[in-house]
Structure 1
Amino acid sequence: MKVHPEYSHVLYKGIENIKHDKISAFDDIKYIDSNGKVIDAKVGSVPFKINNNIFKLSVIKTMEDIKNIKKLKKKIIERDKHDKMKMEFFVNMSHELKTPLNLIFTSTQLIESLYNKNKLGGESIKNHINLTKQNSYRLLKIINDLIEFTRMETGFYHVNLINKDIILVIEDIVMSVVDYAKSKGVQIIFDTDVEELTMAIDVNALEIIVLNLLSNAIKFTDKDGYIYVNMIYKENENKIDIRIEDTGIGIEEDKLNLIFKRFNNVNKGFVGNINGSGIGLSMIKSLSNLINAKISVESEYGKGSIFTISLNISHKKEDDRNSNYKVKKNEPLNVERLVVGMEDIYNV
């Protein structure tokens, strides 16, 4: 391998530095191998003496080596960043689990004390029972989120598509949280372009997606605010959009590209009274991908956010035993599970 004629000056520069006992920093250089192929590289030299004779130790790094080193450094940085995010996540999660556990333990102690004093009954004991139940549900919600997230991450989530009226499914989910939203001074308005649309959907996935988005909307919307849930039928595109808009605090523009990343909480540090595990939106994104839905977000900081889930309209084959199943108006749609799913938004 010889130095390319156009880069001979780099070689001579290195020799001059060696003569003056100087180290040559890495310079760009080109070599020609035995097959006539030009190789991009970097070369640096270090002088050393043996018996008063000066010798040169040259280090040659090909561009392929440099690229591999850069890739390795990038991977190390990404791994360290991910490890840090995971550590922050588990620290945050431990706090999320401890809070309801402490409240449950305190309420249980008080109930035990009242029982020992034969003072059970009245409004006080009712409040403590409600607090215990509420925080038990809250823990269940956190654990369920972790289980679903783990199932998706490990590829064990099974998509279960059945033909149902998506309008009624989403309306039932929304209606199940209206009363709670009202208790926080937030009004939810549901509207739809089409009264009925039966299509193949994964009800469990949609429940998780919509409930998490509604949960966030209620968390981040102040009293007297609004949440609008619109079903937008796009007949020409054979799609339907679920659009959830709130008048909440919004998301800063430079953080919009971070909200769907795992273990990330974009509002950490500037909204002190808002808790979150950091997996909600990441789980929504993963679930959306699994059911071939697209999720997008628009937001203006200080004015609110709009999340849109876009679904392709399709149907299960008629020979599927669940394909003809249709939700009736008076049929409950996992209402208890939906209520439980909202418990993490209670300020306790």
Structure 2
Amino acid sequence: MATKVLVVGSGVIGLRTALELLNRGIRVHLISPRHPLHPSTCSMGAGGLWMPFHCDDSRTDRWSLETLHELTKLSSEKSSPGGTLVETLPAIIFNRNLQSVPSWATDASSNSLDFQNLSIDDLYNKSKSQRFRLPGKEVMKEAGYSHAWLFQTKIVDSPKMLTHMLDEIKANEYTDHVDVETDVFYTNIEELVFVAKAHGCDGLVNCTGLGSKLLCDDASLIGARGILLHYDRASCVWEEKSRGSNSSDEDKTNTIQDPVITISEPPFGSETMPCYMIPRGDIIAVGGSYLEGDEERGIRASERKRVLENAQNMGINTEKSRCVSDWVGFRPYRQTARLEVDEKLSSLSGVTVVHSYGYGGSGWTVFVGVASDNAHLLETWRKYLVH
């Protein structure tokens, strides 16, 4: 294992990698051009939903289930000083036809998901007994949605978790240095090797996300643009036709859960313009889009109209609910995630270089497993060099 590692990037992958190394007794020097809570960072703006999404890699299920295991533990612990970090909520994916169970739901270690493949009638019966909101049943039936997946997922309050991890890194005795607002954007990986050597590091983990497109001259890395509207969760008003409407006396005296809802089939959604709602901390994030190569940094008028329709389709009264902000981000998508040792550069420089990027829309789903693999690669490559 390297004795001191330069970690570059302070998104969810970079921060968790730094913590993984520190917990193994390895000194860490952490740098990033932007603070984790900067509005341009994908990790901060993300919905924080645990569910594999556009991370096309054979290792995704393993990374995801390792992450799920830790998030399950965190969700059962008392709140941190900054508030609840992980929440357990029902997740519903509406389908037009009966769909096969996804691979990530069939592993024995995914039992906590309580995954169910239901007819639309069974789903609405479940919502009565388990007390979670749903759009109007007839609305969904008329739209052609006949089946749904229902499972218990984890939602990470992204800004709070990023702050929590950064605070842990700063407080760790093995932390050598932290500067997550350098405002320096390096243009090639060799520059970072030079920085690593200048600070006495014999390891380097590149967690720069979409920045690796330039840094590593990686043309296969694409920004997949996502858009969100944020509604104030505490005061959100639900349509009367939505199950769990807060208008009845029963609903005023009993807690009704805000679920995650995702629709990627017409008429409400598609692969490039999915319809989804994610309750996260004090907001409800409504989206969205998955547009590869689209570099528009604002929400177009037509897109805003579409997302407002999404909110209405899922039962939010958009005229009476308060939209507090919007967000545009660019997921770092690659046909296969890059988590590997740069063998040529490592051999030439004497610094073990690990690249870790390209996790698409699954950063908060895979981060624990990915960080563990990052540390493992540093260890095994060092042993390889020694022998």
TM-score, normalized by the shorter chain, greater than 0.5: no
Sort the TM-score into its range (normalised by shorter chain).
Answer: under 0.3
TM-score by length of 2: 0.21
